[in-house]
Amino acid sequence: MLPYIQAIDQARKTTLESLHYFEYQGENKLLYFSELGSSLSQDQLLVLAIDESTLFAPVYKSVIESSLITMAVIAILLPLTYLFASPVTTTFNTLLLQTQQISNQDYSVVKVAPSNIIEVKRLSLAIKKMSNNLYNHELAQKGLIDAMVKLIAQAIDDKSPYTGGHCNRVPELSEMLLKVACKENTGIFESFDITSEQQWRELTTAAWLHDCGKITTPEHIVDKGSKLECIYNRIHEVRMRFEVLHRDIEITYLNALQTSPEDKAELLEKCRKEQQQLQHDFAFIAHSNIGSEGLSSEAEQKIKQLAQQTWLRYFDDQLGLSPQEERELVNESAPLPAVEYLLADKEGHIKQHAKEHKLPDSLGIKMAIPENLANLGEIYNLTVMKGTLTTEDRFIINEHIISTIKILDQIPFPPELENVPRIASTHHETMRGDGYPRRLKGDELSIPERILALADIFEALTASDRPYKKAKPLSVSLNILHKMAIEEHIDLAVFQLFIKSKVYLHYANKFLPKEQIDTVDEQLYLG
């Protein structure tokens, strides 16, 4: 009883009308104290003692029963809930998948999801409508970009009557070769494939824009068909000097005849001989001006020798000049009559850069910039060893790649066309790494870039509309291309695929005149 008495004493010191816990013989007990309110008993307490387990047993039982019932009800309702909610969740999952498909621009698979819930159905209809609008907008944007791309290419072709069609033919030839490269499963083509419409569009767009920088190239450089050509062919100025010398010989003969008529036969023979030599000399200069063949060192020396002949100019050569030409004058007018060389490289022939020609390092361009913008010197141009272009002319032509890079880098291409600037600006790189503008090597060039390089060269070789060369037969063009492949100018594997697949012949039958298509021995190139 002692624990009870101690608990009672403790209770007196605390609050009445409340339960008090204590432990007795290892069991939890509860005591309840209450003061008797009778007038017969003063300062007496009513004490009730009970085991905790006995007091709360009904409560525990009730809680357990309620929990079991609740769990049973939940177990019954869960399948029903899943059964009724499954169509809704399936629809929402479908809508979520459709938003991902829209994000991937795969609009064709977006359909209206069936649902008995009107709000869900409305949401599905809204997503479908959004998909259709995005698709139509994307089509319009693609059409706009493609039209602008072809417009630029057409403008470049229309700029020059001699290069018309180049920007149209190169994309078609590139696409023909790309298609057979995708089907090839050997060598470098084993793992190559173009799997999406977007990739095709990127490559064809790059092919269409590969020469867009030529829109900034002066037309007289693009169309320079002879060495002395600059806006017009200056061979006519040289010819007039020969005409003057021819008449001077005639005048010299007539004057000598008046003094010594008895020597007429001898004087006439000398006159005719000198005039005939002038004819031969001019024919040699005129032939050298064409530039279709390489110039020998002997021919170079003969040009410089002939240039030393002189003639007399009786008219002021500084009259009738434009303000710009007057600003470029470097010497005062010489006293008349002035002695002029038959051919000359004058200070006035040198044209300086209008501003400092510096290329941004970010472009990665590695091209040597000539000291002068142009050199119109007659001897300088006539002694060009191959072709018609001087070093300065060649840089201006090559500079179209720099312009291409600058133009395309400023266009905000969508993600699916992000590689267009790179592909379009690499068709003058070589496998051996000495091309331009970045001097990339073969292992740095993708297969489409190598194909575009071959297409650009082959089109130029076979084109019959160039002012600086005659159209070459198909076999000759392929011989040149094969040599370039052997010398690692272009990719040999791409060239051999070009031959083996007969793409060269398909292209020739479509674009070349019949007289240009001769017999080709394919085995010469496939060894």
d(CA 491, CA 453): 9
Domain assignment of residue 86, yes or no: no
Non-local CB neighbours of 515 within 8 Å, separated by 6+ positions: none
Non-local CB neighbours of 346 within 8 Å, separated by 6+ positions: 377
Dihedral sign for Cα 220, 224, 230, 236, please.
negative
Looking at 72, 100, 118, the residue that finishes a domain is 72
> What digits encode the pLDDT tens for the residues 497-520?
999 999 999 999 999 989 898 888
Does one domain contain both 289 and 245? yes
Residue with tokens 């068709």: 427
- Cβ atoms 256, 267 nearer than 8 A: yes
Query: What is the model's pTM?
Result: 0.70
d(CA 20, CA 188): 91
| pLDDT for 305 | 94
Looking at 293, 318, 349, the residue that finishes a domain is 349
Residue 32 has φ and ψ, to the nearest 5°, of -120, 130
| pLDDT for 173 | 93
- Cβ atoms 483, 469 nearer than 8 A: no
Query: What is the pLDDT averaged over residues 124-149?
Result: 82
Looking at 317, 334, 349, the residue that finishes a domain is 349
Pair type for strands 229-230 and 45-51: unpaired
Residue 321 has φ and ψ, to the nearest 5°, of -90, 155
Domain assignment of residue 280, yes or no: yes
- Compute the half-sphere exposure of residue 217: CA atoms within 13 Å on the CB side of its CA: 29
| pLDDT for 413 | 84
| pLDDT for 407 | 85
Does one domain contain both 306 and 238? yes
State the alpha helices, DSSP H only, in 104-165.
Answer: 118-159
| pLDDT for 397 | 86
Domain assignment of residue 490, yes or no: yes
Residue with tokens 């007795």: 24
Query: What is the pLDDT averaged over residues 364-386?
Result: 88
- Cβ atoms 337, 372 nearer than 8 A: no
d(CA 364, CA 426): 12
Residue type, 437: P
Report the CATH number that the domain containing residue 467 is assigned in CATH. 1.10.3210.10
> What digits encode the pLDDT tens for the residues 180-235?
999 998 889 988 888 888 888 889 888 888 888 887 888 788 778 888 888 888 99
Domain assignment of residue 258, yes or no: yes
Non-local CB neighbours of 401 within 8 Å, separated by 6+ positions: 213, 425, 428, 436, 437
List the beta bridge partners of residue 312. Answer: 339
Range of 476's domain? 165-226+390-526
* Residue 466: closest CA among 153, 157, 151: 157
Does one domain contain both 197 and 277? no
Query: pLDDT tier at 396 (50, 70, 90 boundaries)?
Result: confident
Non-local CB neighbours of 475 within 8 Å, separated by 6+ positions: 518, 519, 520, 521
d(CA 346, CA 353): 17
Domain assignment of residue 484, yes or no: yes
Domain assignment of residue 41, yes or no: yes
- Cβ atoms 322, 301 nearer than 8 A: no
> What digits encode the pLDDT tens for the residues 7-65?
556 555 555 556 666 666 667 776 666 666 655 555 666 666 677 667 677 777 788 88
List the beta bridge partners of residue 493. Answer: none
Query: pLDDT tier at 160 (50, 70, 90 boundaries)?
Result: low
Does one domain contain both 337 and 256? yes
Total number of domains in the chain? 3
Does one domain contain both 513 and 403? yes
Does one domain contain both 442 and 514? yes
d(CA 304, CA 38): 149
Dihedral sign for Cα 129, 130, 135, 139, please.
positive
d(CA 46, CA 71): 43
Dihedral class, residue 187 (left if φ above 0, else alpha if ψ from -120 to 50, else beta): left
Does one domain contain both 256 and 179? no
Dihedral class, residue 218 (left if φ above 0, else alpha if ψ from -120 to 50, else beta): beta
- Cβ atoms 346, 377 nearer than 8 A: yes
